Chains A and B, each alone.
Chain A
């Protein structure tokens, strides 16, 4: 029996620009035209000021680990263990759930500096993983 495929996002009209940019190696985030807040996950209106004028801008893709867990019991066998699930806070002030890749899980710490590392998983989907900044 072969392992199942890793689950991939199914973009909606709202989230499609985010995933299309990831495939091109760019991390996008919505920014409020009125108050400047960066909004993630993608929304129809600003969580701060409720303006419905959110524009996709490019994030620098740099941040730090807010918290993380090293997973040994996988969601499904599609995920090889161990793998690191983390919450990363981007320098623009928003948070994402992601994977920390490219280093031993033992090296990941709360507060560690990270940067985005794009990881293609299918022809259509590239995931914005993160890696430790040396």
Chain B
């Protein structure tokens, strides 16, 4: 069977804010879907596949939205909307299971108890929650071990956070637009959250929605939207999330297998990538991605990201919208934001920090890897 080429034809973020008064997870998710379909020049009548995660409703989101939108029969994806869900949807379209898939997520009104960390950051597992673990502490433990093992000073990972936050500072769509600029010293001067992570090493929390539309290259040829090609992708699981001890040795190579598969599918080399839309849940994660995805040897990532290398004008531009640290972090739909931003870079339509002549984007969200191209 001849495989059909799959392209992204719609990409949209709703307005993002610390709090979106009067909005719900469903309303922002719907707004994201509408925006992405408008961007594509399509309507819900064209949609026959859905991967949807409203709020933190991890099961049944696509079923609920497909029904609510009045779509009679539709394919549903099981992945959380993000890079892996794009790969899953592309495979379904290639196989002929559906023609046009919407991937969407959004959250509003879920994080109300501000005395505690966000609900998505508090895993309830029996052997985790009782120790006061939350996601910053979980990810901090792997980072702590890395810094210790490779004798890396904290300033080197704080630099990553400063670059990302400064990208957001220049992005008028970012929740923290205009906040900054920051230096590594500013990051280290912010209050400690979970050693080695200071406040400014961590994701923020906010509300908003994001969505993508995928279809065949053949269908896209009839649309005005500028298509972005899905070149390859895969994802790695490491087992149940937030259940087993998060040591460096377990975390370090998460995504390597997926990355190798993605580059093999795309038939391109690491050097061909122009922009790196990595999920910046915490500053050291960016270092980890460059090592896991074979851009440098293990222990050398902190040197790779030094200086101007990861600026929008550098060789390895990262997180060009400001990411979770400045643009927006809604609990889950930030995974889609990485893909939305990669699409906008490849279309030359980034709201800020446009990488000149970007043709290939590498998206990585923990163990999920996706390659997109013009």
Contacts and interface: CB of A to CB of B under 8 A. Distances in A.
Interface residues of B, number: 36
A66 B144 contact: no
A127 B130 contact: yes
A35 to B, nearest CB: 19
A16 to B, nearest CB: 11
Contact of A73 (B124, B136, B144, B243): B136
B127 A9 contact: yes
Contacts, number: 111
Contact of A15 (B117, B126, B128): B126
A114 B85 CA distance: 43
B246 interface: yes
Interface in A105-122: 110, 121
A7 interface: yes
Q: Tell me the dominant secondary structure on chain A's binding face.
A: loop
A97 B133 contact: yes
A59 interface: no
Contacts of B196: 69
Given A76-B122, A96-B127, A97-B128, A67 B134 contact: no
A92 interface: no
B115 A87 contact: no
Nearest to A11: B126
B137 A71 contact: yes
Interface in B304-356: none
Contacts of A6: 130, 132
B97 interface: no
Interface in B113-142: 115-117, 122, 124, 126-134, 136-137, 140-142
B248 A67 contact: yes
Contacts of B140: 69
Contacts of A10: 126
Contacts of B117: 73-76
Contacts of A7: 124, 129-130
Nearest to B127: A41
Nearest to B115: A77
Contacts of A66: 145, 245, 247
Interface residues of A, number: 36
Interface string A77-104: 1110001011100000001111100000
Interface stretch (B41-49, B66-74, B186-194, B255-263): B186-194
Contact of A85 (B115, B132, B199): B132
A96 B244 CA distance: 8
Interface string B26-61: 000000000000000000000000000000000000
Given A67-B141, A67-B142, A110-B144, A75 B247 contact: no
B247 A95 contact: yes
A70 interface: yes
A15 B142 CA distance: 26
Nearest to A111: B148
A83 B132 CA distance: 8
B195 interface: yes
Contacts of A45: none
Interface of B: 115-117, 122, 124, 126-134, 136-137, 140-142, 144-145, 148, 191-197, 199, 243-248
